[in-house]
Amino acid sequence: MISSTYDEEDVGKIIWMGYTPQLTLTRSRHLRRIAWAMKKPMTKTLAILIDAFVRHIAKDETRRSSVCNHCKDRSICASCPFEKEPN
């Protein structure tokens, strides 16, 4: 289980994760072309795509519930877009 703890000075700040996604050559090429079209770096484009996908899933009660049911980190349920009963 993933546990998230924050110091008081971290509240309200963006916390960047040190993770480099491993993409296939084909997916990297797709992302690069989408980034060019958006006139954004690939990292920002990937973040935009993930945010859009999250919003898409969050609209569908069945998908949202599935993500919530399989979640292994219950530390942010109150603010999670996949929470079964959205705020």
pTM higher than the cut 0.75: no
Give DSSP secondary structure letters for 20-63. -----HHHHHHHHHHHHHHTS-HHHHHHHHHHHHHHHHHH-HHH
What average pLDDT does the structure give for the chain? Answer: 84
Residue-wise pLDDT tens digits, 12-68: 677 777 777 889 999 999 999 999 999 999 999 999 999 999 999 999 999 999 999
pLDDT grade, residue 8 (50/70/90)? low
